[in-house]
Chain A
Amino acid sequence: DSGVTQTPKHLITATGQRVTLRCSPRSGDLSVYWYQQSLDQGLQFLIQYYNGEERAKGNILERFSAQQFPDLHSELNLSSLELGDSALYFCASSVARHRGFTDTQYFGPGTRLTVL
């Protein structure tokens, strides 16, 4: 158990819909990362937040957005869903004391999103 929690575990929805994935980092970790993992793309970095602020951005679609709240939990919002958005979505957390420093990341169990 990494100490990172994600809800829900599974999500089935239809194209065009909007969903919210939730992540709680390990106690004491200030940084949260979101990844998308599909069979053909591998683990793709989406976005990082540090202590409530966006710190780094990957290939995140405009239809996707995220935020980190004062209690450090994070939410990833996916809207106008398409079939191709079906994937495992992982959240990870780390201490990330220094700006630009990427340290060990602890991953949650993931949310499996299926878009029908």
Chain B
Amino acid sequence: SQKIEQNSEALNIQEGKTATLTCNYTNYSPAYLQWYRQDPGRGPVFLLLIRENEKEKRKERLKVTFDTTLKQSLFHITASQPADSATYLCALDQSNTGKLIFGQGTTLQVKP
């Protein structure tokens, strides 16, 4: 069956360090993958989109990689700040269906 897996355990890191979050998937062939940020009680906010033919994408302190062989995406936040504390969701398209399927999310806590 199709699955998107993100580490359900919260990730706790010290301010200034790099946070790395993982998204693994099985039985999908996504054309692209997206990362969203969600704060408690609020709607997800789009961060980055990476296509299947792109290995890496950057935006300010954020970096996403996409390995279609490993079926994995890594999401990095460099020089992390307490304001980066949130839940981060990865999402895959189901090709040609219009559906975006979300992982359960990983909660990041950045301590000052």
Q: How many angstroms between the C-alpha atoms of A110 and B101 in the bound complex?
A: 18
Q: How many residues of A contact B (CB 8 A)?
A: 29
Q: Which chain B residue lies CB-closest to A40?
A: B104
Given contacts A92-B43, A104-B46, A110-B43, is CB(A42)–CB(B98) below 8 Å?
no
Contact A45 B89 (CB under 8 A): no
- Which residues in B have their C-beta under 8 angstroms from that of A28? none
A48 part of interface (Cβ distance < 8 Å): yes
A window 25-59: CB within 8 A of B: 31, 33, 35, 42-43, 45, 48, 50, 55-56, 58
Count class of interface residues, chain B: 20 to 34
Contact B98 A56 (CB under 8 A): yes
A window 89-107: CB within 8 A of B: 90, 92, 96, 99-102, 104-107
CB distance from B39 to the nearest CB of A (A): 11
Give the contacting residue for A2; candidates B43, B94, B102; CB below 8 A. B43
Contact B46 A109 (CB under 8 A): no
Contact B98 A2 (CB under 8 A): no
Q: How many angstroms between the C-alpha atoms of A103 and B97 in the bound complex?
A: 12
How many residue pairs bridge A and B at CB < 8 Å? 61
Contact A43 B46 (CB under 8 A): no
B79 part of interface (Cβ distance < 8 Å): no
Task: Please encode chain A, from 76 to 93, with 1 for each CB lying within 8 Å of some chain B CB and 0 for all others.
Answer: 000000000000101010
Give the contacting residue for A102; candidates B45, B99, B105; CB below 8 A. B99
Contact A90 B98 (CB under 8 A): no
Contact B103 A42 (CB under 8 A): yes
- Which residues in A have their C-beta under 8 angstroms from that of B44? 43, 90, 105, 107
Q: How many angstroms between the C-alpha atoms of A35 and B98 in the bound complex?
A: 13
- Which residues in B have their C-beta under 8 angstroms from that of A108? 43
Q: How many angstroms between the C-alpha atoms of A47 and B4 in the bound complex?
A: 19
Give the contacting residue for A110; candidates B41, B93, B94, B96; CB below 8 A. B41
